Amino acid sequence: MTYVLLGSFALLVIFNAVVTIAVWRSDAIDMRQRLFQTLFIWVLPILGASLVWSLNRPIRSERVTTDLADRVGSSVAVDDNIRLGNDAADLGGLHSSGDGGGH
């Protein structure tokens, strides 16, 4: 029983230390915020460290664009026609023929 408690405490200290080091290595956080986050990590060990870790990790998302001219190295020019295999009048199932009644 003592080893389980000692092991749990060791894991808690290691996790808090890893998150604290990550906070102090971050360039995006100013000194005051680093101090508050470090205090938060050690006052509320599991909750504080988990919350600080999740909020400070970098968001890795690629920029999504539909502008073909903005793509670096693209072989498609802005005025090139891209054929989708559909008639230009047939957009979203709307046909130009008929009485316009929608039936």
Q: Check residue 38 and give its pLDDT.
A: 95
Is the Cα torsion angle 43, 45, 51, 57 positive or negative in sign? positive
Within-domain flag for 92: no
**Strand, helix or coil at 54?**
helix
| Residue 19 neighbours by CB distance under 10 Å | 24
Tokens coding 70: 């903005």
DSSP secondary-structure letter at 62?
A: P
Within-domain flag for 89: no
Q: What is the pTM of this model?
A: 0.54
User: For residue 40, what are the domain limits?
Assistant: 2-56
Within-domain flag for 28: yes
Q: Which residue has the higher pLDDT, 68 or 42?
A: 42
Within-domain flag for 91: no
Within-domain flag for 66: no
Within-domain flag for 38: yes
Domain total for the chain? 1
Buried b / exposed e along 64-97 (16+ C-beta atoms within 10 A): eeeeeeeeeeeeeeeeeeeeeeeeeeeeeeeeee
Within-domain flag for 39: yes
Across 77-102, average pLDDT: 53
Within-domain flag for 37: yes
pLDDT digits (tens, 9 = 90+) for 36-67: 999 999 999 899 999 999 988 776 656 666 66
